[in-house]
Structure 1
């Protein structure tokens, strides 16, 4: 048989397909779940991963180990699951199990993590939820509906009880153990993704004020740059823009992951809510409607803050480019003025040089003719020409010779 080399992700993909399977449940049953996030970017979760494996008695090897551990302890079924940025521990027991933090299931190993949410689901085998159970919820936020096309009922007010747990009541009717397991998982997922999606809201509100501060700083810098006329004013504004750009970039880096995760969790939450297939009971609202009315504005706030940061980053970049262009143009204008000045000076020097050369020709010719005058005075006695006649004839020749001599000297100098 041919032995093929497997892709390194093949086993991981197969394990992911079967990760976190639905665990059947039989009513009456109480399910509790705690979710924890790491305080140091995931290192705590990786360390907890190994420790929970010891508690569960599982061998820490193979892809299945990396996602879910299921074990029993003191009559409770315990499930520990590792997600991308959080871990959950879920345990089931009878409905009279009032221990919110039972010993022996590994809860003590989570003490260095951050508790994100705690949920309790009580499942009974009746057709409807008793009035006494509904009385424990706040009527102002009670969601009460039939789910899974009328196969069960669910009620919650999304408020924390005295133990710090959000409580759900479920009447499973004639649902089988596997269907009850699906119902429980769906409600747990809704609570999980609701909480994880809303974690980004406080950050968005905090960043909203910070973004407004950045926008005011940008406006002030551009106002100062517009009022300034000197190169020093423009350079000062450019330095301020670069500092502001650095601060905004750091803010984007700190918030981009959280905002992206918020939108991803929000999409998963919407999909899980749709799968409940709810119908309101009486005058009460459904879980889907209640959560959409709360989470959609929160998600919109996160999106708006993210868009403001993106738009602000682009505005600052355009402002930097504009100011750079203005400074470059100013420098070019100054350089052109300097070059024009140098050119004007050169032309002036050239005209002066021509003037000097002309005067030099006249002066040299004058002195040369003066010397020749002494010669012509002596020649007058032997030649039939007067001194004036010989000087008149020699003058153009002397001037021409001097002119040619000076021009040759100038050419050799250049």
Structure 2
């Protein structure tokens, strides 16, 4: 069989980012960093240093999804289009440790995480508690773990677990999530934790466009008013400074295209990230816990309006671009009509000049007949005198008088024939091109 060269890659893609298997209890730290391709390469080199510090073999290949397992400590790095994520899992938890006293970063050497290349967008700790055989944490203890911040909680997966979150930054500069495992297997717990981390990461990535949308909104308002003023000038029946108006339109179009170049990708990414968040929320299958907002309710109430603001700004920018194009087309049409009118006037003027030149040509032709006839008759007069002097009896005056009409008619006839010949040559000449 003729096998497609990408067949194996297509199969491998579905397994390139497998769900993690996480036992409980555990402490997980998830970090997402915006980075360029050069910073991704620098991150790979930075990760190799960590292998050396832990005394493990160095992996030279920079994979899209790389997992490192060192017993009670696991590390996972994933590369995405514009960011990378690091997931640190710590299974070495003292029995008397509180929820966030120990984190996924605890086993890391001092200073390694601080020197990680890239800009941190998401960074939060996940405390996974085991309540399969014991009691789940009391609500006061949960509030204390979240520094008395307002909580969002739910029972996902049909009540097999309980999730608490504040979706705020805490005193250590990290966000916090708590997952209480009631009766989930390690695989189910890994999938649930992965969904929660993706929800928080994609939520923050989606919100990156909100400050841009808010900053560009006043500019769009001013540009909208400016375009309305220019359109009104075109609609008014009066003299319009077309070069100045066209320069304003070009300046406005350049500004809009500059905004589109800076914002289109960000707004499109926000739409894609929001769709991923909604998909992950549906997969949670949440139930309400003791009157608290569920994660889905919280996200729908807070995230969706922000995303719609970004979408509205993007749509407004595209609408403004289309309107500027329409006004520019109107302006170009107006200029072209003016040029056509000037060309028509120029052609009419040329036609009048051509008729005048033709009349002058006829006049010149008439004068030319008279002049040529005069010189020819003068020559014939010399001929008649020579013949008379030779002894031939002729009446010089009579001969000269008779030759006048004959010469004049002959010259006129020759001039007309030459004129008609040039006209026939012009008609037979084919147009070039």
* TM-score (norm. length: structure 1): 0.80
- 2:159 corresponds in structure 1 to 150
Cα deviation, residue 218, structure 1: 3.3
- The answer as to 2:167 corresponding to 1:133 is no
Which of 282, 285, 293 aligns to 1:277? It is 285
Contact 1:36 1:110 in 2 (8 A): no
Cα distance between partner residues in 2 of 1:275 and 1:107: 35
- 2:431 corresponds in structure 1 to none
* TM-score (norm. length: structure 2): 0.77
- 1:315 corresponds in structure 2 to 323
Cα distance between partner residues in 2 of 1:147 and 1:175: 11
Q: Which runs of 5+ in 1 are unaligned?
A: none
Cα deviation, residue 335, structure 1: 1.6
Q: Within 5 Å, give how 1:11-410 maps onto structure 2.
A: 11=9, 13-14=11-12, 16-27=14-25, 29-38=26-35, 41-56=36-51, 57-60=56-59, 65-72=63-70, 75-93=72-90, 94=93, 95-96=97-98, 98=101, 102=106, 103-104=108-109, 107-108=112-113, 110-126=115-131, 128-136=136-144, 141-223=150-232, 229=239, 233-355=241-363, 357-358=365-366, 400-401=409-410, 403-408=412-417, 410=419
Cα distance between partner residues in 2 of 1:132 and 1:49: 42
Contact 1:138 1:157 in 2 (8 A): no
143-152 or 9-18: which moved more?
A: 9-18
Q: Secondary structure at the match of 1:282?
A: coil
Q: Secondary structure at the match of 2:352?
A: helix
Cα distance between partner residues in 2 of 1:91 and 1:408: 105
351-360 or 249-258: which moved more?
A: 351-360
Q: Deviations over 1:38-97 (max 9, x none)?
A: 1xx23212221233144243543568x431222338x54333333332222223342546
Cα deviation, residue 294, structure 1: 1.0
Q: Note closer, same or farther for the CA distance 1:370–1:254 as it changes in structure 2 (3 Å cut).
A: closer
Cα deviation, residue 10, structure 1: 2.1
Cα distance between partner residues in 1 of 2:378 and 2:267: 100
- 2:428 corresponds in structure 1 to none
Cα deviation, residue 226, structure 1: 5.8
Q: Note closer, same or farther for the CA distance 1:105–1:367 as it changes in structure 2 (3 Å cut).
A: closer
Cα deviation, residue 278, structure 1: 0.9
Q: Note closer, same or farther for the CA distance 1:217–1:110 as it changes in structure 2 (3 Å cut).
A: farther
Aligned length: 398
Cα deviation, residue 260, structure 1: 1.6
Cα deviation, residue 195, structure 1: 1.1
Q: Secondary structure at the match of 1:7?
A: coil
